[in-house]
Structure 1
Amino acid sequence: MNIKEKIKERAAAIHRDIIECRRYLHAHPELSFKEFNTSAFLKEKLKALEIPFHEAGGTGIVAIIKGKKEGTRVIAIRTDMDALPITEENDTTYVSTNPGVMHACGHDVHMASLLGTATILKTLEADFGGTVKLLFQPGEEVLPGGASLLIRDGALENPKPDIILGQHVSPYLPAGTIGIRSGNFMASMDELFVTVHGRGGHAAQPQDNIDPVMITAALLMQLQQIVSRRANPLTPTVLSFGKIEGRGAINIIPDKVTLEGTFRTMDEKWRQEAHLLIKKIATESAAAMGGRCDITINKGYPVLYNNPGVARNTAALAKEYLSGDKVLEVDAWMASEDFASYSQLIPSCFYLLGIADPQKSSAPSLHTSRFDIDEKALQLNTGLMAYLTIHLLNESAG
């Protein structure tokens, strides 16, 4: 029996266990950096597999599997652990039992999948050389991101990975498929907090006021020109504001208006230039209308970059394991991921795992109260990640 057959046999054998693991995690979600019970559950599973581990990044875990053949290469595989502040509306046996908290981004799938991959690799230690690092990472959903904490705590050292792999569920791809993109794949993400100061008063006497609502309206239009007129049209760029608060009334002009938004792009040099432009336009526009503007930009995750050599090898190996028509080339995605922090340091491949029912066009969207998956994806991916890992241990990072 060759290695692919061995892996597929083991993936099928543990499929039901991995489904139950995923359902337990789904029913017991925890918010970012509060994954205490999640961490305890994962540790018990690792202990049962006799896989050594240590804590990192607070609730995070770094586990090690060593092959019994000769080899010095190191492959890291990462999963995130945290859930979102969403009230689940699904009617399933594994619906969230934590009010207002839900695994609506698939991190339960990522964790269960990595446990399945670890189970397979542990039984195949005699078939490979080198070292596998399993990174169970907290706090992907909020800044500063758990990746930065794991890196701070040495998760990428002693030994340093030659390659790091990660995945994200995709409701836009059918179960049984994966999506890969070489090069820049996911956008950087920055948080914008703006306060426009004016002088409030009676709405019937606008001549006596400095209206921050009107300043804000003008400001929003002018800031969009950063995307339409200052960004290179070939560089994906998004500037969006999702929250505006004035706290005036039909007859009250407020003293200030606050805005919250996000800036995203695929070019780190342009990102820095755009930050300066946002601040300049905001402050000068407000001043020109008699007001004042305070702006804070919280720099978030960098661009997620898939090393072309690693992405090429990953795609070729995935085609061997799945068949060629199951491995899709996908477009850049303007969402952001703190896996990007690893990708800036280690040759990486971060791919999409299809989780939609093939009989339907897509699954419910990420970050929604009815998000769920076709669990057949769990069998595919536990085996695929094991297959990728064993083969990449013996290949160049490119």
Structure 2
Amino acid sequence: MQQSNFASLADFEASKASLKEIRQHLHANPELSFEEEKTAAFVAEKLEAWGYEVTRGVGGHGVVGRLRVGQGNRSIAIRADMDALPIHEATGLPYASKAQGKMHACGHDGHTTMLLGAAEYLARTKNFEGTVNLIFQPAEEAGVPSGAQKMIDDGLFERFPCDAIFGLHNHPGAPAGSFLMRSGPLMASSDTVVITVRGKGGHASRPHLTIDPVMVSASLIMSLQTIVSRNVDPTETAVVTVGSIHGGEASNVIPESVTLTLSVRSFSPAVRDLLERRIRDLTATLAASYGATVEIDYQRGYPVVVNSADETEFATEVVNELVGAENVSVCPLIPGSEDFACFLEHKPGCFLRLGNGVDSAILHNPKYDFNDDSLAVGAAMWARLAERFLWRPR
């Protein structure tokens, strides 16, 4: 099979208007995590009309469209997320969100549209041998438990077997239609820690009769910053951020307790374990040295996104063929997190980044909008990747 026989950008030229219409419809009608009922129905109805075997309600509002062609025994899964964010839109666009306080500020409307565009093309051309599983996932933005984990718990990979899984996120700051690729760790794990420091309250004029949790917390905040600088290998990357501190009500009262919340991020399971161990040990020891006690609620969130080498090499070949190597670059490590990592803990695969424009607003911003110029590129990429994957010999 020659490269010219696989999906190309030219094959999606006529689809640009319809893709734009779908994307802007989804943008105007956002639904939050675990509320994606209408979005899921919209997706399912289109897949059914194109001849897919459609399963609804996978892990909540998840939709899986399956298409088998020929006798090939290879199978691929491609995922797009569907949920929006609780943000009031400030774009002023004619297709701006109709739902007060909700908007597609992360581009999931574009992700869903691109996979629908590929779905229509694959069903029409059937230029492959094997099975395509298209996963439209809810609740990526929800945190733990996320839509990915809920779909896995609902038997996603047992019900819809696949040899590998692929996903994509748009990338503000990179040229529209360009790709950023990286093998191995790509996006960080994200853990949340709630630390309650308990002391002995009293009058501010008699601190010797108290155990001041504010002073203990201040010392703890500074000490926590030594974990990355003195415990983590300098060649590794990690973040420990104290995002909030709450304690006390009045200047003349030493409170009974103070609560800190931390965001902890890393790019390897070993460093992730090290960070948890050191945060627990340092917090308990420091508090005890002042006579205080602590309660630690350590909440593990999304794991590290780790792209497998073979699948990343393959996906890189596909995007090089589609847009030219000059439009493909190495993606830097991204300290944000993504629940596609949950899928990659079960299956080999690759998570790609697609440029959203050099001047794009950042993700989760009220002025963000997905770049429609990337729609046909993303749809063509998914179609070509599926075709190439299912024509490769096992």
Structure 2 length normalisation: TM-score?
0.95
User: Is the 8 Å Cα contact of residues 49 and 122 (structure 1) preserved in structure 2?
Assistant: yes
Say if 1:6 and 1:384 are closer, same or farther in 2 by CA, change over 3 A.
closer
Summarize the alignment of residues 196-275 of structure 1 with structure 2, pairs less than 5 Å apart: 196-275=197-276
Letter in 1 for 2:60: G
For residues 367 and 247 of structure 1, the distance between their equivalents in structure 2, rounded to whole angstroms, comes to: 32
Distance 1:251 1:396 in 2: 75
Q: Distance between the aligned counterparts of 1:185 and 1:92, measured in 2?
A: 33
Shift of 1:395: 2.9
CA contact (8 A) 2:194 2:297 kept: yes
Match of 1:132 in 2: 132
Q: Which residue of 1 aligns with 2:86?
A: 85
Counterpart for residue 368 of structure 2: 371
Superposed displacement of residue 254, structure 1:
2.1
Which amino acid counterpart does residue 157 of structure 1 have in structure 2?
A: E
Out of 380, 384, 392, which is 1:383 matched to? 380
Structure 1 residues 167 and 6, CA gap change in structure 2 (3 angstroms) = closer
Q: Which residue of 2 aligns with 1:26?
A: 27
Structure 2: which amino acid aligns with 1:156?
F
Relative distance call for 1:5 and 1:53 in structure 2 (3 A) is closer
Work out whether residues 6 and 384 of structure 2, in 8 Å CA contact, stay in contact via their aligned partners in 1.
no
Instruction: Find the residue that maps to 1:393 and give its secondary structure.
Output: helix
Which residue of the partner structure matches residue 63 of structure 1?
65
Question: How far off is 1:305 after superposition?
Answer: 1.0
CA drift of 1:116 comes to 0.8
Structure 1 CA distance for aligned equivalents of residues 167 and 225 of structure 2: 34
Shift of 1:5: 7.0
SS state at 2:72 partner: strand
* Residue type at the aligned position of 1:174: P
Change (3 A) 1:254 1:48: same
Q: How does 1:30-49 map to 2 (within 5 A)?
A: 30-49=31-50
What is the deviation of 1:180?
A: 0.4
- Alpha-carbon offset, residue 158 of structure 1: 4.1
8 Å CA contact retained: 1:164, 1:348: yes
Partner in structure 1 of residue 315 of structure 2: 314
Q: How many percent of aligned residue pairs carry the same amino acid?
A: 38
CA-based RMSD? 1.8
Provide the C-alpha distance between the structure 2 equivalents of 1:395 and 1:312, rounded to a whole number of angstroms: 14
SS of structure 1 residue aligned to 2:388 = helix
- Distance in 1 between residues matched to 2:180 and 2:248, nearest whole Å: 45
Query: CA separation in 2, counterparts of 1:17 and 1:306?
Result: 32
Which stretch shows the higher mean deviation, 239-248 or 87-96?
239-248
Structure 1: gaps of 5 or more residues: none
1:154-169 paired onto structure 2 within 5 Å = 154-169=155-170
- Find the aligned partners of 1:205 and 1:103 in 2 and give their Cα distance: 53
TM normalised by structure 1 equals: 0.94
Shift of 1:396: 6.5
The aligned counterpart of 2:179 is 178
Q: Which amino acid aligns with 1:346?
A: K
- Check conservation: 2:283, 2:294, Cα contact below 8 A: yes
Whole-angstrom CA distance in 1 between matches of 2:28 and 2:243: 30
The answer on whether the counterparts of 1:4 and 1:387 sit within 8 Å (CA) in structure 2 is no
Deviation at 1:75, TM superposition (A): 0.8
Other structure's SS at 1:351 match: strand
Give deviations 1:317-344, integer Å, cap 9, x for gaps: 2111111111111111111111111112
Q: Could you tell me which amino acid in structure 2 is paired with residue 377 of structure 1?
A: S
Contact 1:237 1:264 in 2 (8 A): yes
Deviations 1:292-318, CA, capped at 9 Å, x for gaps: 111111111211111111111111121
Distance 1:14 1:32, change over 3 A: same
Taking the aligned partners of 1:263 and 1:83, their CA distance within structure 2 comes to: 24
Match for 2:66: what amino acid?
I
8 Å contact kept, 1:279–1:295 = yes
**Is residue 104 of structure 1 aligned with residue 105 of structure 2?**
yes
In the TM superposition, residue 212 of structure 1 has moved relative to its aligned partner by 1.3
* DSSP 3-state at the match of 2:35: coil
Report whether the alignment pairs 1:187 with 2:188: yes
Provide the C-alpha distance between the structure 2 equivalents of 1:394 and 1:261, rounded to a whole number of angstroms.
47
Counterparts of residues 340-379 of structure 1 (less than 5 Å): 340-356=341-357, 361-379=358-376
Report SS of the residue matched to 2:174.
strand
- On the 8 A contact 2:244/2:260 being kept in 1, the answer is yes
SS at match of 1:77: strand
Q: Partners of 2:361 and 2:204 in 1: how far apart?
A: 44
- Once the two structures are TM-superposed, the CA of residue 84 in structure 1 deviates from its matched residue by 1.4
Measured after TM superposition, the shift of residue 66 of structure 1 is 1.6
| CA–CA separation in structure 2 for the residues paired with 1:249 and 1:23 | 50
Aligned residue for 2:229, secondary structure, equals helix
Aligned equivalents of 1:147, 1:325: Cα separation in 2: 33
Partners of 1:340 and 1:6 in 2: how far apart?
Answer: 28
Taking the aligned partners of 1:309 and 1:377, their CA distance within structure 2 comes to 26
Answer yes or no: is the 8 Å Cα contact 2:8–2:322 preserved in 1: no
Q: Deviations over 1:54-98 (max 9, x none)?
A: 12001101110122x441110100011111121111100111121
